[in-house]
Amino acid sequence: MILFVLVFISLVPNKFPFYFHEHHKVLRPNSVAELRKTIKGRELAVIVFGAKRCRHSNHLEHIVNELPQYFNKSNVVILSLDCRSENFTKYCADNNINKFPTMKMVYLGIHMKTEYRGQRKVEAIKSYIDKLVDNEIPILDDIDKLIEVRADNNHRCVIGFFSSTKNDVFQNFKKVSGIFHEQCYFYAFINDVQQLPVIAVRDSALGDEIFTGKQDINNIYQWVRDNCKPLVPEMTFDNAEEFIEQQKPLLILYRNISDMESVNQFTKVVNSEIKDLLPGSITAIHVDGSAFRNALRFANLTVEDLPLIQIDTFKTHYTFGNFTEILYSGKLRTFVKNSIESSRSGLYDDGRKSIFSRLKPSSKRYSFVEEFTKKDEL
Ligand SMILES: *[C@@H]1O[C@H](CO)[C@@H](O)[C@H](O)[C@H]1NC(C)=O
Ligand SMILES: *[C@@H]1O[C@H](CO)[C@@H](O)[C@H](O)[C@H]1NC(C)=O
Ligand SMILES: *[C@@H]1O[C@H](CO)[C@@H](O)[C@H](O)[C@H]1NC(C)=O
Ligand SMILES: *[C@@H]1O[C@H](CO)[C@@H](O)[C@H](O)[C@H]1NC(C)=O
Ligand SMILES: *[C@@H]1O[C@H](CO)[C@@H](O)[C@H](O)[C@H]1NC(C)=O
């Protein structure tokens, strides 16, 4: 009897659910040529850059193994590669991989700059992919709705104006909206008038920007990539890694969550005074002061002091005296320059340790390339 049960169990496929796209597995190319061949013609390739014997990579591997069954392999493939294999050393370096695992996407042949930094759970990754390949754009079909969207100062909106959803440019716009679904809000306004399509991004601080290039997918992609990210984006705990990872001094506006006015003022001043320092020398962001109140407390400040501006150089931090004074021409620039200079010289007070250096990509999630080269046993 026991023997019978054992035989029976061994006959049952061990992967559930096996009913959808069977025999579709994570692909493990062993050369760049093979990788390129696999990606070619696919709508989306998800590439997991990992390293053998890295426990974080192994953990993610178990999760991504569950993914292929949910997708049609003619459209979506999941690939995993070992950056420590000689065949991929150069490819990984070319893709700026400095930590394992890193998950990147190639969508419609475009290597996306952003990486997947969400939760390492089957559901979360699946839903990210679903949004990417089949993003639905809310359709605005009357002027009132358009006015309402334009009045929303809290979100970066990209609005496409089309005569019909059958339009090719609408289809391109829809695809691009999937790529940037985490960064911006997308809307389509459908109305049968002349001179369409038009694509524009709404910026409450600096005014609208209209796309004037050729309306093919590559040009729309590049324009949206450059314009959908505001000059001063919001940092939250969910997206912090991306800003912190660059280790460029952070210029931070702490604001009351309902106070967009100070964000707009700050953005205008950043635009007029220190735009040349972005993004090469500093990163300018705004945060909800209440969510980041521990960071404020660290500097002996509270939400009573909002709005306020700080610079954190990852060594030390400085607070800008009085928010209203950013309106005095040159003040913010001087503050930024002096702070960076003083931090570089090392002549600062130890009581003002960096606050944000503690938010670096976590060794609980990643192994870093430098560590691998230092000690080989990871
Ligand atoms: C590296 O690529 C070559 C083909 O270009 C292949 O024959 C070889 O097996 C690969 N090496 C590894 C370790 O996968
Ligand atoms: C998978 O996608 C291809 C190409 O779009 C299509 O021809 C095929 O019917 C799809 N298969 C399934 C199972 O959906
Ligand atoms: C934020 O502003 C609102 C409205 O002005 C106010 O009611 C609230 O108390 C403020 N919150 C903080 C943390 O200051
Ligand atoms: C905060 O207050 C404490 C105690 O008064 C002081 O030791 C520390 O230097 C202060 N920190 C800052 C950043 O002002
Ligand atoms: C901040 O600066 C403005 C303009 O110089 C001034 O009117 C205001 O009183 C200052 N606020 C504080 C708290 O010092």
Q: What's the pLDDT tens digit per position in 88-137? A: 999 999 999 999 999 999 998 888 878 898 899 999 999 999 999 988 99
Ligand 3 atom at minimal distance to the Cα of residue 289 = 13
Q: Residue length, the chain?
A: 378
In the predicted structure, residue 84 carries a pLDDT above the cut 60: yes
Same domain (yes/no): 13, 127: yes
Is residue 128 assigned to a domain?
Answer: yes
pLDDT value of position 85: 94
Domain shared by 60 and 128, yes or no? yes
109 with 128, same domain?
yes
Query: How many angstroms does the Cα of residue 299 sit away from the middle of ligand 5?
Result: 20
Cα(344) to centroid(ligand 2), Å? 57
pTM of the model: 0.77
Query: CB neighbours of 34 closer than 8 A, spacing ≥ 6?
Result: none
What is the per-residue pLDDT for 75? 92
Nearest residue by C-alpha to atom 6 in ligand 5: 324
Q: Scan for tokens 């440019």, then name that residue.
A: 169
Same domain? For 305 and 264 the reply is yes
Q: Pick from 81, 112, 133: which residue ends a domain? A: 133
Domain check: are 16 and 120 in the same one? yes
Cα–Cα distance between 124 and 182 in angstroms, integer?
A: 13
Ligand 3 centroid distance, CA of 258 (Å): 7
Q: What is the pLDDT of residue 21?
A: 53
Residue 302 lies in a domain: yes
Separation between Cα atoms, residue 291 and residue 25, nearest integer Å:
41
CA angle 287, 277, 156 (to 5 degrees): 40
Band (358; pLDDT cuts 50, 70, 90): confident
Name the closest ligand to CA 89.
1
Q: Which two tokens stand for residue 120?
A: 């390492």
* 368 located within any domain: no
CA distances from 239 to 50, 96, 115, 212, 287 (A): 22, 19, 11, 30, 11
The domain containing residue 298 runs over which residues? 240-359
Residue 295 lies in a domain: yes
Give the Å distance between the CA of 269 and the centre of ligand 5.
18
The count of other CB atoms within 10 Å of the CB of residue 181 is 16
Specify the higher pLDDT residue, 21 or 309: 309
For the cut 80, the answer to whether the pLDDT of residue 13 exceeds it is: no
**How far apart are alpha carbons 112 and 121 in whole angstroms?**
21
Instruction: Answer yes or no: is 235 within a domain.
Output: no
Looking at 228, 248, 280, the residue that finishes a domain is: 228
CB-CB contact of 160 with 198 (8 Å): yes
Establish if 234 belongs to a structural domain.
Answer: no
* pLDDT given at position 373: 57
Write b or e for each residue in 199-212: b if 16 or more Cβ atoms lie within 10 A of its Cβ, otherwise e: bbbbbbbeeebebe
* Residue 272 and residue 343 in one domain: yes
Q: Separation of 47 CA from ligand 1 center, angstroms?
A: 18
Q: Return the CATH number at 183.
A: 3.40.30.10
- Cross-strand bridge partners of residue 140: 189
**Within this chain, do residues 173 and 89 fall inside the same structural domain, yes or no?**
no
How many domains does the chain fold into? 3
Ligand 3 centre and the CA of 256: distance in Å?
A: 6
Domain co-membership, 161 together with 86: no
Kindly state whether residue 367 falls inside one of the protein's structural domains. no
The answer to whether the Cα torsion of 212, 214, 217, 219 is positive or negative is: negative
Stretch 170-199: mean pLDDT, rounded? 87
Residues 195 and 262 in one domain: no
| Whether residue 324 has its Cβ less than 6 Å from ligand 5 | yes
Mutate to test the pocket of ligand 1, among 36, 37, 83, 87 (most ligand atoms within 8 A of CB): 87
| Mutation pick for ligand 4 pocket among 294, 296, 300 (CB with most ligand atoms within 8 Å) | 300
- Closest atom, ligand 3, to C-alpha of 304: 14
Q: Is 376 contained in some domain?
A: no
Are residues 125 and 146 located together in one domain of the fold?
A: no
Count CA within 13 A, CB hemisphere, residue 324: 1
Spatial distance between the Cα atoms of 276 and 272, rounded to a whole number of angstroms: 9
pLDDT, residue 194, reads 65
Chain CA centroid to CA 313, Å: 22
Indicate whether residue 32 lines ligand 1 (CB < 6 A). Answer: no
The response to whether residue 75 sits with its C-beta less than 6 Å from ligand 2 reads yes
pLDDT, greater one: 272 or 346: 272
Could you tell me which residue, 46 or 181, shows the higher pLDDT? 46
Separation between Cα atoms, residue 102 and residue 47, nearest integer Å: 8
The span from the CA of 48 to the CA of 99, in Å, is 11
| CA 181 to ligand 3 centroid distance, Å | 29
Domain boundary pick from 133, 154, 179? 133
Q: What is the mean pLDDT of residues 68-84?
A: 94
Atom 10 of ligand 1: nearest residue by CA position: 30
Give the Cβ contact number of residue 318 at 10 Å.
22
Checking if the pLDDT of 16 tops 60, the result is no
Q: Are 145 and 128 found together in one domain?
A: no
For residues 83 and 154, state if they share a domain: no
What is the pLDDT at residue 126?
96
Spatial separation of the C-alpha atoms in residues 63 and 122, rounded to whole Å: 6
CA angle 334, 335, 339 (to 5 degrees): 115
Inform me whether the pLDDT recorded for 3 exceeds 70.
no
Ligand 4 site residues (CB inside 6 A) read 299-300, 351-352
d(CA 212, CA 234): 27
Closest to 133 in 3D by CA, of 185, 200, 181, 194: 181
Ligand that lies nearest to the alpha carbon of residue 43, given by its number in the listed order: 2
pLDDT at 7: 47
Which residues, in sequence order, are CB contacts of 359 under 8 Å at separation 6+? 240, 241, 244
Question: What's the CA-to-centroid distance between 282 and ligand 5, angstroms?
Answer: 27
